[in-house]
Structures are given as C-alpha cells and as structure tokens.
Amino acid sequence: MIFWKMNGLGNDYIFVDAVKCIKDELKRLESNLKTIIPRICDRHFGAGSDGLVIMYPSAVADVRMRMFNADGSEGKMCGNAVRCIAKYLVDVCGRYGDIAIETLAGIKAVSAIKDASGKVVSARADMGKVRIAGREGDVIFADAGNPHAVIEGNIADDLEMARAAEICRLRDVNVEIVSVCGEHALEVRVWERGSGETLACGTGATAAAYVFAAEGKVSFPVSVRLPGGVLTLEYIDGRVYASGAVQLNYIGELNISDYG
C-alpha cells in the first residue's frame, strides 16, 4: 500500500488514497483499524506519525476524509490534515482552485498556496464556526470541529501538560495550555486524544484563538505559535480560518499484512 507522509507544522499523518490502493489491502486495513493503525503510527516499529488519514471519493466534495488518531480511534476533523490533503490533491492529482473536503464535522474549504516551483507550501482552511460549550473553573470547553478544553497557563511547565493529559483522559477532549504573548499572539501546547502531545493542532489553535478573543485577551488576526510552527487565525463573518505551512515528508510503501 503506497502512502504519503505529510505534516502541517510537524503534526504528521500517514495519508492513504483509497482510489489508488489494492482493494484487498484497503479492506484489511478497514477491518482491523484498531489493531493496524497503532502499529503503523509507532515511531520505532512503524512509519511513525500522529495518525492515519484515508482519502475516499465523495459525492458532495472533492474528497472524503477519515482521520484516525495514533491509537486507532477516529476523529471528526483535523485542521492540519485537511490542509495537507489540499497539497496532495494539487501536487499529485492536479486539482486547482479551492478544495472541498468532506469530514465528520462537515465540508471544509481549503485554499492551497504554491511556491515559485508550483509546489504547495502552505494552505488556508475554513475551520467553520466555533462554539463555546461551557466553563469549569479555569477550563473553557469549546467545539471547533473536535471537542477542546482551553486553559490559560505556563506552556513551559510540564506539570501543566500533565494536567492537560489528565483532563483529556477524564473528559475525552483535546486540551490546550495557552499563554498570551501580545494583542495578536498566543503560544500553545496541545495534548490530543489518542495521540498525546503533538507539535501542532489546527482545531486546537482555532479553539484557543476563538476562546481567548471571546475573553478579550487577544484580537483577530491571531498568530498562534505551536512547538512545530505558527498558524495564523482569522475571523471573518462568524467563521475562523487557519493558515500555515504544509510539507511532504516522504512517499513510502506498507505491507499491510505485516501490521495485523
């Protein structure tokens, strides 16, 4: 099975094109997701990634995405993955214009940005509307396509991340520890469901920027610095847009029978 490993700000995924797969291999993967995906995502014995994405044909968009975390659990959306898919569709499949991607959180529109050589180096995704779902003490819960818990704290403090991991475990949400760096700037560390700490999270950056703007602590546009790089968040007509770098790591091949 051929795969494309791509990342958005270091948030890396194995991307599989269902159309180009050998059908028996795809069926074996789909029938053993919880067993096979953790082994593929293992950074010592597999290809190594924060998760795996299968791209399918769609009746309502350019492509349909199923996104799985490193433990094999399925997520509704991934901001970095949809931006990487736009790179794949433009660079590999020759698509042009805005890309429509069907996800479990709705259809997401993504614009690809090319460099002088014609390769996609960045992408801007419509992350949709964000909803604040409640507050418990210093924790603000928000829905940005995936469920998030946003906490103001010291991102350099690993005890804060230990707390984030525990909230993630207890509440089944992604957790962002956020520091304010200026009127238009945040620093964020993320603990993701099913993957642990990642270098970046598109929906997490979206949730953090929206919550802190609603709290009056920053103003859009917001530059969100994550361990893997910077996402720029804009708020236009009630919707949040995320822009940042995307990159192809390499193209590889998996023998699915080796993984389960």
Phi, psi torsion values for 176, nearest 5 degrees: -115, 125
Determine the residue type at 68. F
- What sign for the dihedral angle of Cα 134, 130, 203, 184? negative
Catalytic, 78? Answer yes
Other CB atoms closer than 10 Å to residue 72's CB: what's the count? 19
Structure tokens of 168? 């993630």
CB 246 within 8 A of CB 7: yes
CA–CA gap between residue 216 and residue 222 (Å, rounded): 12
Catalytic, 41? Answer no
CB 106 within 8 A of CB 128: yes
Provide CB contacts within 8 A for 215, sequence distance 6+: 140
CA–CA gap between residue 1 and residue 27 (Å, rounded): 11
Which residue, 203, 184, 211, is CA-closest to 241?
A: 203
Q: Of how many residues is the chain composed?
A: 260
Q: Looking at 41, 84, 168, 201, which residue is catalytic?
A: 201
* Residues paired with 253 in a beta bridge: 2
Please report how many Cα atoms fall inside a 13 Å half-sphere around the Cα of residue 65, on the Cβ side. Answer: 34
Q: Looking at 21, 41, 78, 84, which residue is catalytic?
A: 78
Three-state DSSP state, 68 = strand
CB 152 within 8 A of CB 140: no
> Could you give the residue numbers annotated as active site?
78, 201
